[in-house]
Structure 1
Amino acid sequence: MNFGYRRARNTAGVLAAGIAAVFTFEIIDLSIQVQQYYSGWFMIFLMAILVVFYVKKRLIVVGMGSGGNWAQWHYYIGLFLFIIYLKHVEFSFPDGLVESTITVFYLIVMISGVCGVFINRVFARRLSYLEEDIIYERIPVHLKKLRHDVEGLIIDSVENSGSTTLSDYYLQHLAGYFEKPQFFFTHLLGSNYGFLRVKDGLDRQMRYLNKKEAEYALNLNNMLQKKNLLDTHLALQRVLKYWGTLHFPMALILVLVTFVHVVLVYAFRGAA
């Protein structure tokens, strides 16, 4: 049974459970008119489970299951929680300030969570297809060394070929490419369009080079390939590393706003 089938099956199961929960709260609503009380506390229970997942990722606890399994449960419980929330607000956008704020943060957390599932699944797979494993923190060092090697190659080409054609082309068209990471978003999209334009430019320049310069140009072409590999790693690994900086803070704010909401509900309830 492949992963895609399991994901579809489990998601369908969560949706079915969510529909069953909606009908359950609807029955409660028809009988005693306080379904928001029960659905609200049920959501707090689910949110507590999701917080436990975040803590679990940062603790090494024997016998608590793999991080992958916890990530799966986090995804399904988050989806189930969103369905319960829709019922809690009766599938409408609330008009109160606190309630509206909670809804906005629910949407942000939900969307960023779904994007995170896509990122972790697709980007991690694409990284595994690359020809070389590179540690994210070492990428700036590799980029700096590559730029130094390229500059040395260009200097050698001028000294040994007696021509500045390749050097002039490098300064006009390639120096900026090696100066910093390039084509971040096209790498995220899985496209090499930007890199191929750079490479094609060097290929077309080959006809104007003498024999010795052409040999250096072939080495430069290999360095272009290396730079493209580093740029691809940087783009994919940066998103994998930092997407949680949006998801978790928004989730934390959601928990805090929910706490304020509970306090206000019980305060007005007591006043009534």
Structure 2
Amino acid sequence: MKRIRRQLFTGIVSLGVASAVALMAHAQFSRVLPNYAYLTGWLLFAVMVTLAAYNVWKKLPFLPLGNSENWLQFHIYAGFFTVVLFLIHVNFRVPTGGFEGTLAWLYVLVTGSGMVGLVLSRVLPRRLSTRGGEVIYEKIPALRHALQQSAEALALGEGTPSPAIAEFYGRKLAGFFSGPRSFWRHLLESRQPLNAVMVELEDLRRYLNDPERATLEKLAHLVRQKDGLDYHHAVQTTLKLWLFIHLPLTYSLMIFSLLHLVLVFAFSGGAR
């Protein structure tokens, strides 16, 4: 906890100091320094390239570039710092023109999706740790299939099948075990779907004999496991979908930024 607080304090102070220096420099030099817009543009682009390189670096862990956690902290606060640099570069005005407007919107979308990702990466992993520990995402389909087979064996094929349990399974649980369920409910931390199934299982229990009740209890345990697996699927899928949004937007922003540089230098002759 102390380490997290220290990281937060260091990051906020560093961001505040860097932003204050950038704003003071803007106030002092924006009207007097030749080619000031080029300077701020190159600075913004350099920071953006560094931020985009973070994802590449994560895929090349053998490179001696330091601690991953430190790079993540830098990525977060440097990302916030680009907001200040962007506002300075556009001189605190809304960009006009089709290309500049598109570039500005791409920046806003990348920054916004980055902020959403920051919240998700802080909240969702903590929630996963409270629901059965780590589950490898790629193994979820196989684990789901194993639970389905176990449930079918209990309800339909193991020992002497109970007609009541078999009927209930076909009516209520076959679809439940066949694939992921209640995606949005799990994201909203709602246990209503699971509670509804458990209530129906308890109602059925009253009409069963002792051996059937033992089977039903095993089936209820599998239902809880399946619900936990669906929870992991919903949360981990959300994290992966966020990456599929943030990364393409990031690369699109970098491409448009490069085109912006080419156009600026082509039509103005560059910084002279």
Q: Same-fold call, TM > 0.5?
A: yes
Q: By how many angstroms is 1:199 displaced? A: 1.8
Contact 1:182–1:231 under 8 Å retained in 2: yes
Q: By how many angstroms is 1:29 displaced? A: 1.6
For 1:164 and 1:77, locate their aligned partners in 2 and report how far apart those are by CA, in whole Å. 63
Deviates further, 227-236 or 54-63: 54-63
Aligned to 1:146: 147
Contact 1:160–1:212 under 8 Å retained in 2: no
Deviates further, 163-172 or 175-184: 163-172
Aligned to 2:66: 65
Contact 1:153–1:216 under 8 Å retained in 2: yes
Contact 1:154–1:166 under 8 Å retained in 2: yes
Q: By how many angstroms is 1:19 displaced? A: 3.4
Deviates further, 53-62 or 69-78: 53-62
Unaligned runs of 5+ residues in structure 1 are none
CA distance 1:8–1:110, shift in 2 (3 Å)? farther
For 2:168 and 2:6, locate their aligned partners in 1 and report how far apart those are by CA, in whole Å. 52
Q: Which amino acid aligns with 2:179?
A: K
Unaligned runs of 5+ residues in structure 2 are none
For 2:128 and 2:5, locate their aligned partners in 1 and report how far apart those are by CA, in whole Å. 19
How many residues matched?
Answer: 269
For 1:152 and 1:103, locate their aligned partners in 2 and report how far apart those are by CA, in whole Å. 58
For 1:206 and 1:86, locate their aligned partners in 2 and report how far apart those are by CA, in whole Å. 65
Aligned to 1:130: 131
Q: Which amino acid aligns with 1:193?
A: Q
Q: By how many angstroms is 1:216 displaced? A: 1.4
Contact 1:134–1:233 under 8 Å retained in 2: yes
Q: Does 1:182 align with 2:154?
A: no
Q: Which amino acid aligns with 1:169?
A: F
Alignment of 1:215-226 (within 5 A): 215-226=214-225
TM-score (norm 1): 0.89
Q: By how many angstroms is 1:137 displaced? A: 1.1
Contact 2:49–2:254 under 8 Å retained in 1: no
Alignment of 1:65-84 (within 5 A): 65-84=66-85
Contact 2:11–2:73 under 8 Å retained in 1: no
Aligned to 1:36: 37
Aligned to 1:160: 160
**Percent identical:** 31
Q: By how many angstroms is 1:234 displaced? A: 1.3
CA distance 1:166–1:131, shift in 2 (3 Å)? same
Aligned to 1:22: 23
Deviates further, 97-106 or 121-130: 121-130
TM-score (norm 2): 0.89
Aligned to 2:56: 55
For 1:102 and 1:270, locate their aligned partners in 2 and report how far apart those are by CA, in whole Å. 21
Query: Where do 4+ consecutive residues of structure 1 move more than 4 Å?
Result: none
